[in-house]
């Protein structure tokens, strides 16, 4: 059974307060979601909590609070749980609460991404990428969301990540061909292709022409 997880990142610049914030936020996440799911799932794997700070002397307090195994000095601060919880209905689901929370999420999205849409933000990032192929997972991490969430958000706006990559790569390729003296191999490398043949094939798919013919 796969184990989905919730990861929490706290800025290391907080110094000695960092552990306090980790414990506070994990406790909030645990207590606020405890009633969202049934107490047990038949055959479930136990929930597990990881902290990245050293093991304290009062480990039993953590295990009593979280009601599960707690490990310290781990690579990430995270809560792992049984994936079957994701398919269960929420006992306290409320349409009005959902509407309010969705509105808060929209405001948070504006605060995070600015007034520009997510599509525009991704286009800007793709435009700035050099010598490597744009990667959905990496760009999603830059926006503190999962690749799955990013795909869903793009779908809501009527595009796919690959569409954006193709469009922006095509723009960059045409720009290099018309305004620079880079040869085909150099342009191919700048766009993240390991072989010129792959770039030429992609360019013909984008424009219906070969790079050499387009430049001429």
pLDDT tens figures, 46-105: 578 888 888 887 888 888 877 788 889 888 888 877 777 777 777 767 787 777 777 777
Which residue is associated with the tokens 């110094």?
15
Residue 106 within a domain? no
> For residues 62 and 48, what is the distance between their CA atoms, to the nearest angstrom?
11
Say if residue 128 is in the same domain as residue 179.
Answer: yes
Q: Among 102-106, 139-143, 177-181, which is the least confidently predicted range?
A: 102-106
CB 106 within 8 A of CB 33: no
Measured CA to CA in angstroms, residue 122 lies from 21, 82, 113 at distances of 31, 32, 10
The residues, any chain, with a CB within 8 Å of residue 191's CB and separated by 6 or more, are 133, 169, 172, 173, 199
CB 4 within 8 A of CB 86: yes
The model's pLDDT over 15-43, given as tens digits with 9 standing for 90+, comes to 778 888 888 888 877 776 666 665 555 55
CB 70 within 8 A of CB 63: yes
Give the phi and the psi of residue 49 in degrees, each rounded to 5.
-120, 135
Residue 77 within a domain? yes
Residue 95 within a domain? no
β-strand partners of 6: 79
> For residues 173 and 169, what is the distance between their CA atoms, to the nearest angstrom?
6
Residue 30 within a domain? yes
pTM of the predicted model, to two decimals?
0.49
Q: How far is CA 169 from the centre of its chain?
A: 22
Q: How many other C-beta atoms are found inside a 10 Å radius of the C-beta of residue 19?
A: 16
Say if residue 28 is in the same domain as residue 123.
Answer: no
Number of domains in the chain: 2
Please give the residue range of the domain that contains residue 125: 116-216
Average pLDDT value over all residues in the chain: 81
Say if residue 125 is in the same domain as residue 75.
Answer: no
Residue among 172, 201, 165 nearest 187 (CA): 172
Say if residue 67 is in the same domain as residue 132.
Answer: no
């Amino acid at each position: 059974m796969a184990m989905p997880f919730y990861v929490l990142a706290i800025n290391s610049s907080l110094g000695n307060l960092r552990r306090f914030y980790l414990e506070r936020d994990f406790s909030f996440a645990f207590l606020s979601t405890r009633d969202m799911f049934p107490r047990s799932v038949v055959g479930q794997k136990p929930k597990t909590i990881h902290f990245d700070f050293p093991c304290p002397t009062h480990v039993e307090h953590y295990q009593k609070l979280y009601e599960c195994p707690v490990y310290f000095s781990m690579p990430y601060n995270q809560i792992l749980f049984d994936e079957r919880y994701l398919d269960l209905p929420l006992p306290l689901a409320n349409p009005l609460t959902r509407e309010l929370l969705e509105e808060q999420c929209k405001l948070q999205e504006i605060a995070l991404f600015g007034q520009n849409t997510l599509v525009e933000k991704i286009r800007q990032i793709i435009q700035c990428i050099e010598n490597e192929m744009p990667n959905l997972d990496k760009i999603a991490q830059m926006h503190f969301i999962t690749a799955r969430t990013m795909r869903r958000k793009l779908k809501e706006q009527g595009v796919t990540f690959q569409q954006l990559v193709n469009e922006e790569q095509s723009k960059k390729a045409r720009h290099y061909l018309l305004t620079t003296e880079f040869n085909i191999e150099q342009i191919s490398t700048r766009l993240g292709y390991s072989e010129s043949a792959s770039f030429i094939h992609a360019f013909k798919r984008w424009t219906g022409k070969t790079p050499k013919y387009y430049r001429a």
